[in-house]
A = this chain, B = another copy of it.
């Protein structure tokens, strides 16, 4: 059945199927759409990919996405330089920025420690984080560990907390609990257990 499509189209569908959440059928739909509006759409997408692929690199300070040496957040003079939020990947930075509740800096680990998946501390940007905190001492007053509330994320947070023990800065972990606006009914059991354990007095 594959052979009825032109080769170049098959190749495009194959490349698109490599993307996360894109199955064969969606890839086909996308490819048809792209070439239907082609050449402008194919050209625009291709040039956007080539350019982004060539120009985007990790920020030299926090490893978020940047085109220059520093990302837009590290360059921003209005951000508090005394607090660093450690996250697993750039998605998390975008999520926090969307929430709009944080005005400090970030540190992107580029993953989380997961021996099962072969990810060890040295595969992440942990040494850069420690160097960064050491160099900035004592101007970094707090490091927020915002790795995911999963087994690996928790282990990563624990490991980092251990490594940061020598520095004179507060180390905190983001609160885990029931998501605001969600229904209790939909929360998983582990989250509910955590939410119960970490209950606080109502003033």
A: residues with CB less than 8 A from B are 1, 3-9, 11-12, 14-16, 18-22, 26, 28-35, 38-39, 41-56, 64-67, 71-73, 89-91, 93-94, 97-98, 100
Q: Which residues of chain B come closer than 8 Å to A29, judged between CB atoms?
A: 20-21, 91
A-B contact pairs, 8 of them (CB 8 A): A1-B97, A19-B34, A21-B26, A21-B29, A32-B65, A34-B53, A35-B56, A43-B50
Inter-chain CA distance A71–B67, complex, in Å, is 43
Please give, as numbers and ranges, the residues of chain B lying within 8 Å of A42 by CB-CB distance: 49-50, 52-54
Q: Are B4 and A72 in contact (CB under 8 A)?
A: yes
Question: Which residue on chain B has the smallest CB distance to residue A53?
Answer: B42
A4–B51 alpha-carbon span in the complex (Å): 18
Q: Pick the residue among B1, B26, B49 that contacts A46 (CB under 8 A).
A: B49
A1 cross-chain contacts in B, Cβ below 8 A? 94, 97-98, 100
B21–A67 CB distance below 8 A: no
Please indicate the chain B residues that have their CB under 8 angstroms from the CB of A51 in the complex.
8, 11-12
Q: Which of B4, B43, B47, B53 contacts A71 (CB 8 A)?
A: B4
Cα distance, A33 to B38, chains bound together (Å): 24
Whether A20 contacts B30 in the complex (CB less than 8 A), given A43-B50, A43-B53, A53-B41, comes out as yes
Q: Decide if A56 touches B8 in the complex (CB within 8 Å).
A: yes
A90 to chain B, nearest CB (A): 6
Which among B4, B20, B35, B49 is the interface contact of A52 at CB below 8 angstroms? Answer: B35
Could you tell me the distance between the alpha carbons of A12 and B47 in the complex, rounded to whole angstroms?
A: 9
- Whether B9 pairs with A56 at a CB distance below 8 angstroms is yes
Interface pair B73/A12, CB less than 8 Å apart: no
Task: Please name all residues of chain B whose beta carbon is closer than 8 Å to the beta carbon of A41 when the two chains form the complex.
Answer: 18, 53
- Which chain B residue lies CB-closest to A14? B48
A64 to B33, CA, bound (A): 14
